[in-house]
Amino acid sequence: MAKITIRDVAREAGVSISTVSNALNDVDVLNPATKLHVLEVAERLNYVPNLNGKMLKSGKTMMLGFFTTSVSGPYFYKLIETMSRQCERHGYGLNVFVTKDKQVIMSNILGRRVDGVIIYEELKIDEHDIEIMQKDKIKAVFLDRAFSNDTMGSVTFDSYAAGYEAAKYLIGLGHKRIAYISGVDTMFDSVRRRDGYLAALKEYGLPFDGDYVIQGYFEEDSTFNAIKAFIRMHASKLPTAFLAGNDLSAMGCVQALKAHGYEVPGDVSVVGFDDIDIAQYFSPPLTTVRNPIARQAILTVDHLVRMIQGKEEGQSQTLTGELIVRASSHVPVD
């Protein structure tokens, strides 16, 4: 009683395998009666087409690949859930690969396990890899960097502008000592937000103190620890505001400040990025620059699908943030 194939259905129904295939794929070239009969037999035998055979022959897997080094945090799961739903809408599945192994990534992409790929992976794919992908006409959309050629697509968030806007907002409130909480330097978004922050400082003539860029890894708990250490070091003269590279680190920062007896925003203001779902329920509700994650997810999938269908060439789309002022920021006390 091995796995039944199209051949078994054909034999049982007394027709050829091409007839079965046509019946199942709804190619209307068959006598309706035959088609019905075949379908009935297939149903009775619980026949399910083998996808590997199907994929090999058709050259299509009807799967999109999402390659990422991490799925931690609200940014990713919002992205993944929205992309998944959007894929389903187009008749595709989404294959999520969580790996840092470039070998794994490239062999899955070039080996055609998926029809198109979405890549978020912080610098690991280099120019040479991209060249190889171009030669193979791989359809790809990047989420963490923009492209100027027309074979690769990208849908990015303008993190530089967001960093600049957030810093400008704090400066506008009167803050003079503003610290930045970064991720790691391989994360494009972290670096660009920081650069925007630096640009604003410069524009308004505020001095930049190297100590004021704190590594928080974009996570709540590691930021919590980093800020506690920072507070111990700078207790005499704390910044009046922290600009955190994402909402999670903003939350960790707030917790650390509270743990040391500081009030937010009474003593210190904290601003984040992304506007993840929890941000508005946090205590205090977070001021943040909204990153339209769901929109990014939808645009990405739509763009990739159209690229696969040959309806569109790769293009760079940039989404801009929106400053959401809530309770975690205030004019400085001193």
Partner DNA sequence: CCTTTTTATAAAAACGTTTTTATGAAATTA
Partner DNA sequence: TAATTTCATAAAAACGTTTTTATAAAAAGG
Give one DSSP letter per residue of 238-275, joined into a string: --SEEEESSHHHHHHHHHHHHHTT--TTTT-EEEEEE-
With binding defined as CB under 8 A, does residue 81 bind a second copy?
yes
Q: At what angle do helices 293-308 and 74-89 cross, to 10 degrees?
A: 40
Partner from DNA, a second copy, none binding residue 90, C-beta < 5-8 Å depending on class: none
| Chain residues in the site for DNA (CB under 7 A) | 3, 5-7, 14-19, 21-22, 24-25, 29-31, 33-35, 47, 49-50, 52-54, 56-59
Partner from DNA, a second copy, none binding residue 165, C-beta < 5-8 Å depending on class: none
| Smallest gap from residue 52 Cβ to a second copy (A) | 4
With binding defined as CB under 8 A, does residue 327 bind a second copy?
no
Choice from 17, 30, 39, 80 touching a second copy (CB under 8 A): 80
Q: For residues 193 and 164, is the Cβ–Cβ distance under 8 A?
A: no
Give the pair of three-digit tokens for residue 247. Answer: 């909402």
Choice from 21, 34, 70, 151 touching a second copy (CB under 8 A): 70
Nearer to a second copy, 106 or 161 (CB): 106
> Edge to edge, what strands does the sheet with 322-324 contain?
213-215, 178-182, 241-244, 269-274, 287-290, 322-324
Partner from DNA, a second copy, none binding residue 142, C-beta < 5-8 Å depending on class: none
The distance from CA 248 to its chain's CA centroid, rounded to whole angstroms, is 15
H or E stretch covering 324: strand 322-324
Number of C-beta neighbours around residue 229 at 10 A: 12
Partner from DNA, a second copy, none binding residue 34, C-beta < 5-8 Å depending on class: DNA
Q: Is 54 helix (H, G, I), strand (E, B) or coil?
A: helix
Q: For residues 245 and 73, is the Cβ–Cβ distance under 8 A?
A: no
Q: Which residues bind a second copy (CB under 8 A)?
A: 1, 3, 46, 48-56, 61, 70-73, 76-78, 80-81, 84-85, 88, 93-99, 101, 104, 106-108, 110-113, 132, 135-136, 220-221, 224, 252, 255, 258-259, 277-278, 280-283
